[in-house]
Amino acid sequence: MSDEMGIFEAMYNCRAMRRLDTKPVPEELLVKLIDAANQAPSGSNAQNARWIVVRNPDVKRELADLNRKGVEAYVGPNVDNPGSLPHHSEEKRRRMVASVIWQMEHMHEIPALIIACMEFEMKVDAATMAMGGGSIWPGIQNLLLAARALGLGAAPTTLGLMDHAAVTKALNLPETMAAFCLIPVGYPLGKFGPVTRKPVSEIMRFDQWS
């Protein structure tokens, strides 16, 4: 039916790929990712998602520093106690933390850091931020699937974006814009593979939850 990767094949094999090569990604492919993201739906079809593709070494370094602070705050208390989160086996948790730390150490060397932003009609505050999710995350998912289909690794993270003032300065955002997600993109060092998820019987009901 198609010479593209199949839609279900992409979804079922779209692991978070955090270990990425320094090899540059052609600009044409980066634009293709953003164009795919831009096809996603938005509330009232307002199309207010905005995308910044950071390749400049100085801006990447600023984002990497912000991410380091976020990762240390998040992972720090759990790093020697990876079994403390209830939803993962200790071994799986340990592997995830290791890859988050790899990403933190190497973020400034990753070829492209894509920032998913929203443009609002008013100055951004905490209440605005809370409203935006449904108009930005569908596009992020399109971007991740498109990256998978093009052989690029990617993994969304929000840990480096908590300091809104610092992010605004690093990316020169107007006061009506806010950054929601950072997606490092590059050629993967590891192998693509299937995701593992809970069985559908655990996460689905008919008619009512209970």
- Find the shortest distance in angstroms from Cβ 206 to its own copies: 5
CB-nearer residue toward its own copies: 106 or 144 = 144
Which residue, 34 or 106, has its beta carbon nearer to its own copies? 34
Q: Pick between residue 1 and residue 122 the one whose CB is nearest to its own copies.
A: 1
Residue type for 10, please?
A
Closest distance of CB 160 from its own copies, Å: 14
Q: How far is CA 126 from CA 46, 47, 123, 129, 166, in A?
A: 20, 21, 10, 5, 15
CB of 48 to its own copies, least distance (A): 8
* Min dist. Cβ of residue 135 to its own copies (A): 9
β-bridge mates for residue 183, sequence order: 114
DSSP letters, 157-186, are B-GGG--HHHHHHHHT--TTEEEEEEEEEE
How many angstroms from the chain centroid is the CA of residue 21? 17
Rounded CA-CA distance 172/11 in Å is 34
In the complex with its own copies, the residue whose CB is nearer, 73 or 195, is: 195
CB 42 within 8 A of CB 141: no
Nearer to its own copies, 59 or 189 (CB): 59
Nearest approach, Cβ of residue 105 and its own copies (Å): 20
Is 172 in a helix, a strand, or coil? coil
